[in-house]
């Protein structure tokens, strides 16, 4: 959200409850999770390709209409919604069953507030024993460590994925005295939005409904894979406080891997099965007609 908080407005709302995380969860490095970057994945044949994640690279503290999170959006025509799609849920079901890794890739921001982004194993960002901060006081300007393509890999044991979540702490602050609570922000969970505080339906996060197939170099396997990648984007201003609802204040990408480093493949949507079946039936009919000639 790109608004200046008026002193008068703050005075009116001074008695309201603050919703930001206070204190912030510990840095992810204490969980053994470190921010890294891959020069290979930033090149034009991988994430840096304009038809791939680079289409969603942005940094600004001004109101942006681009990228939007419409359905479809105005970058690569992806569809967005406030809940996970069946295909993404199929990955989480498999990941929860066997364990593996979740990767969070930083894409960009358009918020003036110095927000924070992290993850939680239990779905509750206030659970300091199981929640961690990755990028703190995220500034504008694509600096390290909050630079396009920087990422973390989080190990998930079997049973973890069902409550794993990515959270945004909307600080309501333009300086680094974070957390500096205001009544305009809060903390928002991207995958299970009702765990947000405050939660105002349909929630402050948007998810792409279909995967973006992203060419990704896997260090552990020393080769490229086309990885099903889902985008997650947040509106930082409380929806009940006059938010502009652009939902592009902070945006990340999500990838999921088996323990051996190979990517999870989502189960196709039911409509996709119907399309595949229709094509197969058409092929059978044409084959029979050709055989009769």
Tens of pLDDT, residues 128-141: 999 999 999 898 76
Angle at 264 between CA 263 and CA 270, to 5 degrees: 140
pLDDT for 142: 65
Confidence of residue 76 (pLDDT cuts 50, 70, 90): very high
Reduce the DSSP state of residue 53 to 3 states and report it: helix
Which tens digit of pLDDT belongs to each residue from 199-244?
A: 999 999 999 999 999 999 999 899 999 999 999 999 999 999 989 8
Measured distance CA(59)–CA(111) in Å, rounded: 9
Measured distance CA(188)–CA(248) in Å, rounded: 14
Instruction: Please give the model's pTM, rounded to 2 decimal places.
Output: 0.87
Which tens digit of pLDDT belongs to each residue from 12-53?
A: 343 345 678 989 999 999 999 999 999 999 999 999 999 999
Q: DSSP state, 36?
A: B
Angle at 111 between CA 33 and CA 140, to 5 degrees: 65
Indicate the pairing of strand 131-135 with strand 186-189.
unpaired
Predicted confidence (pLDDT) at residue 272 exceeds the cutoff of 70: no
pLDDT for 140: 73
Reduce the DSSP state of residue 215 to 3 states and report it: strand
Enumerate residues 6+ apart whose C-beta is below 8 A from 179.
Answer: 20, 21, 22, 23, 24, 116, 169, 171, 173
């Amino acid at each position: 959200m790109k608004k200046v908080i008026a002193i008068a407005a703050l005075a009116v709302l001074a008695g309201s409850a603050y919703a930001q995380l206070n204190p912030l969860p510990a840095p992810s490095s204490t969980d053994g999770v470190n921010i890294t970057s891959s020069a290979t994945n930033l090149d034009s044949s991988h994430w840096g390709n304009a038809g791939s994640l680079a289409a969603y690279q942005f940094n600004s503290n001004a109101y942006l209409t681009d990228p939007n999170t419409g359905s479809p959006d105005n970058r690569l025509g992806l569809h967005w919604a406030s809940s996970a799609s069946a295909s993404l849920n199929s990955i989480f079901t498999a990941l929860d069953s066997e364990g593996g890794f979740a990767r969070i890739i930083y894409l960009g921001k358009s918020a003036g507030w110095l927000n924070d982004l992290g993850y939680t194993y239990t779905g509750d960002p206030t659970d300091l024993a199981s929640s961690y901060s990755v990028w703190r006081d995220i500034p504008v300007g694509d600096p390290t460590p909050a630079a396009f393509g920087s990422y973390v890999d989080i190990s998930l044991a079997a049973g973890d994925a069902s409550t794993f979540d990515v959270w945004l702490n909307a600080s309501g602050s333009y300086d680094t005295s974070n957390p500096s609570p205001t009544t305009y922000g809060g903390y928002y969970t991207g995958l299970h939005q009702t765990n947000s505080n405050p939660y105002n339906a349909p929630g402050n996060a948007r998810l792409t409904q279909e995967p973006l197939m992203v060419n990704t170099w896997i260090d552990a396997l020393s080769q490229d894979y086309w990885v099903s990648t889902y985008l997650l984007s947040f509106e930082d201003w409380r929806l009940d406080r006059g938010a502009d609802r652009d939902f592009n204040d902070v945006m990340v990408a999500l990838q999921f891997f088996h323990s051996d480093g190979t990517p999870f493949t989502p189960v196709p949507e039911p409509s996709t099965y119907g399309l595949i079946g229709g094509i197969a039936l058409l092929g059978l009919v044409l084959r029979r007609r050709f055989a009769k000639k």
